[in-house]
């Protein structure tokens, strides 16, 4: 249960944020519709209390009220449906997480498999492998359980920024205005600045000045030095060599914008900068890592993940697993060595389990071959070893 | 499960409140609208004149009700916000938001990224997701040797055939690798033949001669290891006419046999090829998910030791993490005296009496060329201790 609460925060928080957003939208819609209805009603009341109480006029105004009420009903229904749908997404995910504790082992195994797929999808999305992630999610039917949508929207914005188009980014900023303000985000300002710079680059300086008048005047005081630098740019030609202004004109700024957008997107949804996948893999490698994995091929166990070549080099900077009690396994059979399978030492110092040695001896007239040194001994030469 | 139950409770509350609000809103507006519509009809019947005083009063009352109801609906919706935010609070309280604090960003960045991608690609191959693997390779520009893909293609092909209940490719593979399978004591080939035989029997009495012919040809080499099973297989011929489902041999027909053969095949094939049975990535992730909460709990200690040093030196984790008996891939010896893991420079030593301690412990316990075992009163010369290898 503890592992669910450790890594599943993003799984639930992101759809909750969507729910919150939908709620706010719904509230705005309702308030707007209430305004419409109230104004229509007030108009009618005004007519009622003046002297002209012409039936036809009142009748048509009443028709207007009915219309506004219908539109209110429709919009309210749509809005609450959306809210409920996002609430249901949260509920579905919570129910899925509950399976982790199920009493049936096959359900738990399947759940763990799904967990690995979910972690992989998130890692792939962060790494930018969008089509692999989408394919994986759809082949395992887990789209509802992953935050695919968030990253796909982000991808559109990133792609548009890559094409030097700022419209999608600006509409994204507008959608998330309140949250970005809470984060003190400078993204929108930077985008506007970049637009200004692009206007300068294409020599449309008058337009640039108008653009600056429109967008730079409402900015916070902290941005003043950047604004001043931008305005100074007007004085320089597009191929200037003065370093400070050359920097402003370089294309690298677009990449920086994309980076900033990515980071802000993650912060917005309270996603950490590292993917859960890499954190989990690191912890797992560390918990499985033993000195044996690094002692050359003789120590390797093909089942041990850390003995696999790629994972082996990935795990080298990580700490080893801590063990305060001995845990021994027989090198031949892989079974534990304990009082049912006592460890026996051959004269060359290698230790194996009693069961495996006895089986080998019974098939070979009492002789045993040490698998690691290829020396032969008789089973009677094996001595007991006592490990506390 | 408290975390999930708590959040589940809150979200259930929210959903039920929304449903009731939605119904209520819908009904209220419908009734208001109906009311106004009927008034409209009544007034339009007046024709070209003015409305009466009474009608005006009724009308203004109705309008007042409309305004009040609509405003109230908006306020009720706003009140739902507290339930919604309770969900968020439950999530924040019960789930850890920042789990990345104990690990290091740089471990997987840069060239290491390629290694991670290789591992992921291997995992896709093993799980049989070949087209996803191809997509991944093209998106990341990964370069894989052909040989690393080959075994998986073959295995997946045979497994797919087995899942479709086609034993042909599996039998062919088992025959080709007969020697190696026998040296591993694998009974795969016999089990495949057994399934084929049962399939023939299932068809009913007309197939019996075919089944007997099959048995004659294929069971003979296996008599020595599997005599009893062959006897029972031949015995079930008695019941074919009456229907095997009603005989003591009914369990031969279960579909469980098929899933079992897939498992046996995977296990034996992987052992043959020197691959691990489970995907290493899966094992690693499961281990990590068990380890992570333990590490988060002692986050404080880790931060005191300066996180960067923690994850960059060859030290040990500060806490023991029990992954269960199935995750013991290596023998680990911890000296009972000094409580340290054995290393190349500090190996386990067996004393004459059979007890095992580490070399450092041995040196510490030696006084003037004599050593007394800490567990039994046997004395010995320290040089008589033998280094052992687990």
Do A23 and B325 count as a contact with CB atoms less than 8 A apart? no
Q: Closest-CA residue in chain A for B10? A: A91
Do B51 and A112 count as a contact with CB atoms less than 8 A apart? no
Question: Is pLDDT above 80 for A188?
Answer: yes
Read out DSSP for B154-168?
Answer: HHHHHHHHHHTT--H
Q: What is the pTM (predicted TM-score) of this model?
A: 0.81
Query: What is the per-residue pLDDT across A51-80, written as a single tens digit (0 to 9) for each?
Result: 667 777 888 888 888 888 899 999 999 999
Question: Is pLDDT above 90 for B15?
Answer: yes
Do B2 and A1 count as a contact with CB atoms less than 8 A apart? yes
- Reported as a pLDDT band with limits 50, 70 and 90, residue A142 is confident
Do B339 and A324 count as a contact with CB atoms less than 8 A apart? yes
Q: What is the pLDDT of residue B72?
A: 92
Probe site for chain A from B42, B115, B390 (most A CB atoms < 10 A): B390
Q: Collapsing DSSP states into helix, strand and coil, what is residue B184?
A: coil
**Residue B369 Cα, gap to closest chain A Cα (Å):** 23
Cβ-Cβ contacts under 8 Å, B356 against chain A: 385-388
- Reported as a pLDDT band with limits 50, 70 and 90, residue B307 is low
Cβ-Cβ contacts under 8 Å, B139 against chain A: 128-129, 131-132
Strand partners, A386: B355
Distance CA A319, CA B317 (A): 6
Q: Output the CA–CA distances (angstroms, integers) from residue A137 to A76, A123, A124, A278, in the order listed.
A: 33, 12, 11, 19
Q: What is the pLDDT of residue B1?
A: 60
Question: Is pLDDT above 80 for A50?
Answer: no
DSSP-H helix ranges across chain B: 2-44, 53-94, 112-126, 130-140, 146-163, 168-176, 178-183, 188-202, 208-219, 223-235, 256-273, 280-297, 299-304, 307-312, 359-365
Q: Closest-CA residue in chain A for B281? A: A305
- Reported as a pLDDT band with limits 50, 70 and 90, residue A234 is confident
Q: What is the pLDDT of residue B305?
A: 63
Tokens of B388: 């052992």
Distance CA B140, CA A311 (A): 18
**Residue B189 Cα, gap to closest chain A Cα (Å):** 22
**Average pLDDT of span B188-192:** 84
**Residue A43 Cα, gap to closest chain B Cα (Å):** 11
Tokens of B156: 């997946």
Q: What is the pLDDT of residue B204?
A: 74
Phi-psi group of A365: left, alpha or beta (phi > 0 → left; psi -120 to 50 → alpha; rest → beta): left
Cβ-Cβ contacts under 8 Å, B100 against chain A: 272-274, 279
Cβ-Cβ contacts under 8 Å, A67 against chain B: none
Do B66 and A4 count as a contact with CB atoms less than 8 A apart? no
Query: What is the per-residue pLDDT across B194-204, written as a single tens digit (0 to 9) for each?
Result: 888 888 887 77
Q: What is the pLDDT of residue B300?
A: 65
Question: Is pLDDT above 70 for B311?
Answer: no
Q: Output the CA–CA distances (angstroms, integers) from residue A371 to A377, B12, B349, in the order listed.
A: 11, 61, 21
**Average pLDDT of span A337-348:** 88
Among candidate residues B366, B389, B390, the one with its CA nearest the CA of residue B379: B366
Q: What is the percent of chain B where pLDDT is above 70?
A: 95
Question: Is pLDDT above 70 for A313?
Answer: yes
Whether B320 and A322 have beta carbons less than 8 Å apart is answered as yes
Find the CB nearest A305 among B26, B80, B280: B280
State the DSSP H helix or E strand holding residue A198, giving kind and residue range, or none if neither: helix A187-201
Do B332 and A318 count as a contact with CB atoms less than 8 A apart? no
The backbone torsions φ and ψ at residue B341, rounded to the nearest 5 degrees and listed phi first, read -70, 150
Distance CA A148, CA A93 (A): 14
Cβ-Cβ contacts under 8 Å, B131 against chain A: 135
3-state SS, A23-46, equals HHHHHHHHHHHHHHHHHHHHHHHH
Phi-psi group of A270: left, alpha or beta (phi > 0 → left; psi -120 to 50 → alpha; rest → beta): left
**Residue B57 Cα, gap to closest chain A Cα (Å):** 9
Do A304 and B115 count as a contact with CB atoms less than 8 A apart? no
**Sign of CA pseudo-dihedral B131, B135, B138, B144:** negative
Cβ-Cβ contacts under 8 Å, A37 against chain B: 66-67, 70
State the DSSP H helix or E strand holding residue B350, giving kind and residue range, or none if neither: strand B348-350
pLDDT: is A121 or B318 the higher one?
A121
Query: What is the per-residue pLDDT across B222-253, written as a single tens digit (0 to 9) for each?
Result: 877 778 888 888 888 877 777 777 777 777 77
Do A319 and B354 count as a contact with CB atoms less than 8 A apart? no
Q: What is the pLDDT of residue A256?
A: 87
**Residue A339 Cα, gap to closest chain B Cα (Å):** 14
CB within 8 Å of A132: residues ≥ 6 apart? A124, B132, B135, B136, B139
**Residue A5 Cα, gap to closest chain B Cα (Å):** 5
- Site of tokens 């930077």: A190
- Reported as a pLDDT band with limits 50, 70 and 90, residue B303 is low
Q: What is the percent of chain A where pLDDT is above 70?
A: 98
Question: Is pLDDT above 70 for B302?
Answer: no
pLDDT: is A382 or B276 the higher one?
A382
Question: Is pLDDT above 90 for B20?
Answer: yes
Question: Is pLDDT above 70 for A332?
Answer: yes
Q: What is the percent of chain B where pLDDT is above 90?
A: 11
DSSP-H helix ranges across A50-162: 55-98, 105-127, 130-139, 148-162
| Cβ neighbours, 10 Å, residue B370 | 11
Cβ-Cβ contacts under 8 Å, A102 against chain B: none
**Average pLDDT of span B68-78:** 91
CB within 8 Å of A26: residues ≥ 6 apart? A79, A80, A82, A83, B77
Distance CA A9, CA A30 (A): 31
Give, as one character, the DSSP assignment of residue B47. Answer: T
Query: What is the per-residue pLDDT across B132-182, written as a single tens digit (0 to 9) for each?
Result: 888 888 888 887 776 667 777 888 888 888 888 888 888 888 888 888 887
Check CB contact of A340 with chain B, cutoff 8 Å: no
Cβ-Cβ contacts under 8 Å, A303 against chain B: 276-278, 329
Question: Is pLDDT above 60 for B350?
Answer: yes
Q: Is the ipTM of this complex over 0.95?
A: no
Probe site for chain A from B30, B90, B97, B107 (most A CB atoms < 10 A): B107
**Residue B270 Cα, gap to closest chain A Cα (Å):** 10
Cβ-Cβ contacts under 8 Å, B283 against chain A: 284, 288, 305
Chain A residues 9-38 with a CB less than 8 Å from chain B: 9, 12-13, 16, 19-20, 23, 26-27, 30-31, 33-34, 37-38
Distance CA A321, CA A89 (A): 39
HSE-CB of B72 using CA atoms within 13 angstroms: 11
Residues, chain B: 390
Question: Is pLDDT above 60 for A309?
Answer: yes
Q: What is the pLDDT of residue B314?
A: 56
């Amino acid at each position: 249960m503890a592992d669910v609460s450790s890594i599943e925060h993003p799984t639930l928080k992101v759809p909750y944020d969507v729910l919150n957003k939908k709620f706010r939208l719904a509230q705005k819609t309702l308030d707007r519709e209430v305004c419409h209805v109230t104004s229509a009603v007030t108009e009618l009341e005004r007519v009622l209390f003046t002297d002209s109480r012409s039936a036809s006029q009142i009748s048509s105004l009443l028709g207007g009220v009915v219309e506004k009420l219908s539109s209110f009903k429709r919009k309210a229904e749509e809005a609450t449906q959306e809210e409920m749908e996002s609430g249901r997404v949260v509920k579905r995910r919570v129910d899925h997480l509950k399976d982790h504790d199920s009493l049936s082992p096959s359900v738990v195994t399947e759940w763990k498999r799904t967990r690995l797929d979910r972690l992989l999808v998130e890692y792939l999305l962060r790494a930018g492998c969008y089509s692999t992630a989408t394919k994986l999610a759809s082949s395992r039917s887990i789209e509802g359980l992953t935050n695919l949508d968030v990253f796909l929207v982000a991808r559109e914005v990133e792609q548009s920024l890559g094409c030097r188009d700022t419209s999608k980014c600006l509409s994204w900023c507008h959608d998330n205005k309140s949250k970005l303000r809470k984060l003190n985000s400078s993204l929108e300002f930077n985008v506007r600045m970049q637009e200004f710079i692009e206007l300068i680059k294409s020599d449309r300086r008058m337009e640039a000045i108008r653009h600056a008048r429109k967008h730079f005047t409402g900015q916070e005081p902290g941005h003043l030095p950047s604004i001043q630098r931008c305005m100074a740019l007007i004085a320089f030609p597009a191929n200037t060599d003065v370093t400070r202004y050359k920097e402003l004109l370089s294309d690298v700024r677009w990449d920086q914008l994309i980076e900033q957008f990515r980071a802000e997107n993650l912060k917005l949804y309270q996603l950490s900068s590292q993917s859960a996948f890499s954190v989990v893999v690191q912890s797992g490698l560390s918990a499985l890592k033993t000195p044996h994995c690094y002692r050359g091929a003789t120590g390797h166990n093909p089942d041990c993940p850390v003995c696999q070549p790629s994972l082996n080099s990935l795990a080298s900077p990580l700490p080893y697993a801590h063990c305060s009690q001995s845990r021994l396994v027989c090198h031949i059979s892989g079974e534990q060595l304990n009082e049912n399978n006592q460890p026996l030492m051959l004269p060359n110092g290698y230790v194996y389990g009693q069961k495996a040695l006895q089986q080998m001896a019974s098939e070979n007239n009492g002789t045993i071959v040490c698998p690691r040194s290829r020396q032969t001994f008789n089973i009677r030469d094996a001595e007991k070893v006592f490990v506390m | 499960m408290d975390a999930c139950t708590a959040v589940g409770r809150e979200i259930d509350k929210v959903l039920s409140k929304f449903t009731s609000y939605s119904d209520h809103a819908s009904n209220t507006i419908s009734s208001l609208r109906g009311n106004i519509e009927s008034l409209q009809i009544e007034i339009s019947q007046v024709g070209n004149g003015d409305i009466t005083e009474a009608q005006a009063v009724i009308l203004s009352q109705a309008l007042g009700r409309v305004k009040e109801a609509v405003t109230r609906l908006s306020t009720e919706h706003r009140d739902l916000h507290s339930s919604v935010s309770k969900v968020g609070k439950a999530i924040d309280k019960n789930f850890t938001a920042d789990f990345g604090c104990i690990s290091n960003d740089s471990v997987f960045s840069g060239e290491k990224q390629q290694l991670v991608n290789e591992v992921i690609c291997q995992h896709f191959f093993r799980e049989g997701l070949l087209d996803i693997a191809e997509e991944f390779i093209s998106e990341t520009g990964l370069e894989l040797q052909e040989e690393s893909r080959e075994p998986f293609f073959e295995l997946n092909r045979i497994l797919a055939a087995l899942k479709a209940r086609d034993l042909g490719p599996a039998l062919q593979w088992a025959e080709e690798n007969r020697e190696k399978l026998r040296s591993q004591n694998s009974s795969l080939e016999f089990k495949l033949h057994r399934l084929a035989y049962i399939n023939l029997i299932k068809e009913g009495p007309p197939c019996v001669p075919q089944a007997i012919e099959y048995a004659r040809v294929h069971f003979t080499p296996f008599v020595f290891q599997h005599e009893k099973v062959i006897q029972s297989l031949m015995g079930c011929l008695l019941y074919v006419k009456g229907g095997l489902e009603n005989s003591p041999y009914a369990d031969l027909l279960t579909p469980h046999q098929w899933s079992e053969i897939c498992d046996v095949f995977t296990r034996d094939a992987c052992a043959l090829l020197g691959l691990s049975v489970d995907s290493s990535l899966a094992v690693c992730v499961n281990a990590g998910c068990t380890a992570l909460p333990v590490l988060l709990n002692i986050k404080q200690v880790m931060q005191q030791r300066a996180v960067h040093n923690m994850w960059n030196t060859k030290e040990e984790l500060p806490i023991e993490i029990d992954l269960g008996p199935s995750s013991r891939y290596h023998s680990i010896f911890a000296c009972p005296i000094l409580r340290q893991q054995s290393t190349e420079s500090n190996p386990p030593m067996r004393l004459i009496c059979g007890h095992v301690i580490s070399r450092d412990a041995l040196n510490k316990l030696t006084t003037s060329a004599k050593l007394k075992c800490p567990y039994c009163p046997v004395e010995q010369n320290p040089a008589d201790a033998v280094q052992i290898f687990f």
